[in-house]
Structure 1
Amino acid sequence: MTGQTRTLVVAGHGMAGHRLVEELRTLDTAGAWRVVVLAEEPHPAYDRVALSSYLDGRSAADLGLASPDFFRDPRVELRLSTGAASVDRAARTVQTTAGDTVAYDALVLATGSKPFIPPVPGHDLPGCFAYRSLTDLDAIREAAVPGRPGVVIGGGLLGLEAANALRLLGMEPHVVELAPRLMPVQVDAAGGSVLGRRVEDHGLRVHCGVATAAVEAGPDGRARAVALADGTELEAAVVVFSAGVRPRDELAGPAGLDRGERGGFLVDGLCRTADERIWAVGECAAVAGRCYGLAAPGFRMAESVARQLCGLGGDPFGEADMSTRLKLLGVEVASFGDAHAGTDGALELSRLDEARGTYAKLVLGADCRTLLGGILVGDAAAYGELQPFVGRALPSAGHRLLAAV
């Protein structure tokens, strides 16, 4: 490492991009790096996981991740409302959306992901929104009509968050999910059934196993209703699309960088692209071809790259922990390990308590002792005791959970 200060450009100031900069600020005690952060949004990095709380009284500042000393650090230049428009690898420069050119010694792509909007007729009508950013929520708040129905397309984690957002705005939310159950990635059929009943108790109308055919316009040209493939028509003053995300990798092609099979900047276990000066972290990074949509894997990537930039070596990414514990509309849900019993010889043990509205499933190995994963709906108190034991002998908490009451 030379004594000359080098320039790191971070394209994106989401949760992973911010973690990278914070780690570098901590580790770079010699001041070897100057950091230019290109933040496409008008807000500094914020807690996207807690997005719906923005409609429940919390402000953009409350959700902000940057401390006051971050903004005072002379080593960091934060450019808001400025994204990366293109990358010239030969010249080692980034052209910004503001028309500036920034030279780099190292570049980290942290461009995140964008909402997937199903190309159904009427998806782009006024009154249709994505659910991804504070700007999206400001627009939804402006359009919300208390007492009127709203429809969310997508019944996964973000879809239920969006439905709760409409509920907080006084609307009557419907959720449409193509899969036969809510949160199909995290829970199984029995868990989805319990979850569906519990969220309906909180005022949601759930429509699973049906596709969206079109968004219908009213006389004023705005979204008026959502037509489903089974012939049902749902009145909708607001339509929110929350049908998954796609990695923001549009910089890859023009820059000659490889993409993963399902998108994302293709990187190795150390989050390096084929260009030794360019890394990618977070939801836009296809590590060994796979993208991860949770915050925790993105944080691990960011920490590894920060160590590499400081000459400290980085831990290879390896397997990501995709465990999830959350509370949606007052309903606790947790999913961890091999929750869907995909391991050969796996054994599923479950308990359904209709009276309490709870469901618990544990997945054991072929030896009937090793905990491989599990699903908890309605009561996730045991998650903290169970999740650390994945790959080990079932702890006493598991036996208690499955015992008859």
Structure 2
Amino acid sequence: MTRTLVVVGHGMTGHRLAERLRALDTSGAWRIVVLAEEAHPAYDRIRLSSYLTGGSRQDLALAGRDFTEDPRVDLRLGCAVVSGDRAERTVRTADGEQLPYDALVLATGSEPFVPPVPGRDLANCFVYRTFDDLDAIRGAARRGRPCVVVGGGLLGLEAAHALRLLGMRPHVVESASHLMPTQLDAGAARVLHRSATGLGLRLHCGTAVASIEAGPDGAVRAVVLGDATVLESDLVVFAAGIRPRDELAAALGLERGERGGVLVDENCRTADEHIWAVGECAAVQGRCYGLVAPGYGMAETVAGRLAGRSPRPFDGTDTSTSLKLLGVHVATFGIIHPRGGPAAEAVFAEGTTRYAKVFLEPESGRLLGGILAGETGSRTALGPFVGHRPPADLEQLLLP
């Protein structure tokens, strides 16, 4: 008998889950109903800036015809879920339809965090999340004019770089003392800082937006910082972090994590054995993850469980990343936020052009992970040494 899986959300993680279950479910035991709030099938948010600077929506599409035309898949666009009944095992959409499920996966993702500053609702204040957001930003952008991006993390720097390519003159405001504070330490951030300023981005770290001021037309005219600096600006883009979309937890009577997110165990299952959560909306053993790689790991775990396999439980200790940002290669590998106490550290650097730091287990000397910035060694080459004592030529591997 065919069972029904309902996936709420068709972002990158929700799509990965559906794709993996399609691949693993060789007997056709599952019918997959995907309820997408947006009017577009899943697309690559990591490359969203390429759309702002001239790419097409199709360039970023993740769902091919093999997915959308699969008779086992029922993809419904513009179909938001507002509530559910766990006893009846149904969810209710915004238009009132009741849909039954045998298993339910919440993959609702996150929403941009907009700091509660005066003026945040003025015309030409935007977030940076969807195709529609970027269409609005492109329409407001004017060559040669200043703008402000709130947030110096990965998304904020991507947004600032894209606005620069549109001909604007971006300021970046980051409340932490350096760029990308979640992924990088101060040493690695200095390499990125050097490249960013070389490209013309004007960086303001260690301060926050105090208010946004309106011009005579009611649109953004200036941004006032906490240190009293006034930045002339035609538009503001908020890229200051995300918050999990966990409102369905309350609607379904499910517990949330202390800092938000649908609370799940190491297998991404809630206290209700029929309901799971993956991606940015999930609080795995209380912790939310704002990167796509952990979301894909959760999707693999849940798809394996639904297919009757015995996948490894999700282990979020390794949040390795690798990207090129503002012309700088940035990577992390292994564990860079060790749990259970401090780790020994070793730093290898050449001014502000390249930087490497490794974390070592104090007693055994085993390599735990590391941070790389600039023209350093490959994360792929260093990864196999994680969990072992590093080789004698470690410095040569880090800074070849």
TM-score category of the 2 structures, normalised to the smaller one: over 0.9
List per-residue Cα deviations over 1:110-140 (Å, max 9, x = no partner): 0001111101001111101111122211111
Amino acid at match of 1:364: L
- Aligned equivalents of 2:5 and 2:47: distance in 1? 29
Deviation at 1:56, TM superposition (A): 3.3
Query: For residue 127 of structure 1, what is the aligned residue in structure 2?
Result: 124
- 1:27-38 aligned at under 5 Å gives the runs 27-38=24-35
Q: Which runs of structure 1 show a deviation greater than 4 angstroms over 4 or more consecutive aligned residues?
A: 340-345
Question: For residue 387 of structure 1, what is the amino acid of its counterpart?
Answer: G
The structure-2 alpha-carbon separation of the partners of 1:103 and 1:202, relative to structure 1 and needing over 3 Å to count, comes to: same
Give the Cα–Cα distance (whole angstroms) in 2 for the partners of residues 348 and 312 of structure 1: 39
For the residue of structure 1 that corresponds to 2:200, the secondary structure is coil
Name 2:71's counterpart in structure 1: 74
Q: How many residues align?
A: 400
Shifted more, 384-393 versus 198-207: the winner is 384-393
Moved more, 345-354 or 263-272: 345-354
In structure 1, the residue matched to 2:84 is: 87
Q: How does 1:186-335 map to 2 (within 5 A)?
A: 186-335=183-332
The verdict on how the C-alpha distance between 1:313 and 1:362 changes in structure 2, with shifts beyond 3 A counting, is closer
Determine helix, strand or coil for the equivalent of 2:288. Answer: coil
Structure 1: 5+ residue runs without aligned partners?
none
In the TM superposition, residue 345 of structure 1 has moved relative to its aligned partner by 6.0
Cα distance, 1:319 vs structure 2? 3.5
Separation (CA, whole Å) in 2 of partners of 1:397 and 1:317: 33
Corresponding residue number in structure 1 for 2:5: 8
Aligned to 1:142: 139
1:45-92 C-alpha deviation (Å, 9 max, x unpaired): 111111112123321111111121111111111111111111111221
Q: Distance in 2 between matches of 1:368 and 1:274?
A: 38
Q: Is the 8 A contact 1:187 1:339 kept in 2?
A: no
Aligned-pair distance for 1:161? Answer: 0.9
Secondary structure of the corresponding residue to residue 173 of structure 2: strand
Counterparts of 1:70 and 1:345 in 2: how far apart (Å)? Answer: 46
**CA distance in 1: counterparts of 2:342 and 2:141, whole angstroms:** 50
Return the offset for 1:368: 7.7
Q: 2:154, 2:180 within 8 Å by CA — same for their partners in 1? A: yes
- The answer on 1:393 being equivalent to 2:389 is yes
Identity of aligned residues (%): 62
Distance 2:383 2:346 in 1: 16
SS in 2 for 1:207: strand
Equivalent residue for 2:359? 363
**CA separation of 1:396 and 1:170: change in aligned 2, threshold 3 A:** farther
Q: Which moved more, 1:89-98 or 1:213-222?
A: 89-98
Q: 1:103 aligns with which of 100, 109, 132?
A: 100
Question: Is contact 1:360-1:402 (8 Å) kept?
Answer: yes
Structure 1 residue aligned with 2:111, among 91, 109, 114? 114
Contact 2:114 2:240 in 1 (8 A): yes
Q: Distance in 2 between matches of 1:391 and 1:368?
A: 10
The Cα offsets for residues 296-338 of structure 1, whole Å up to 9 and x where unpaired, read as 1111211221122222233211334211211111111112334
369-378 vs 322-331, which moves further: 369-378
TM-score, with normalisation over the residues of structure 2? 0.95
Distance change (3 Å), C-alpha of 1:389 and 1:150: same
1:5·1:31 contact (CA, 8 Å) conserved in 2?
yes
Distance in 1 between residues matched to 2:87 and 2:340, nearest whole Å: 46
Measured in 2, the distance between the counterparts of 1:108 and 1:368 equals 41
Q: Residue 111 of structure 2 contacts residue 242 of structure 2 at CA under 8 Å; is this kept in 1?
A: yes
- Asked if 1:350 corresponds to 2:313, the answer is no
Aligned-residue Cα RMSD (Å) equals 1.9
CA distance in 2, matches of 1:193, 1:320: 25
Shift of 1:402: 6.0
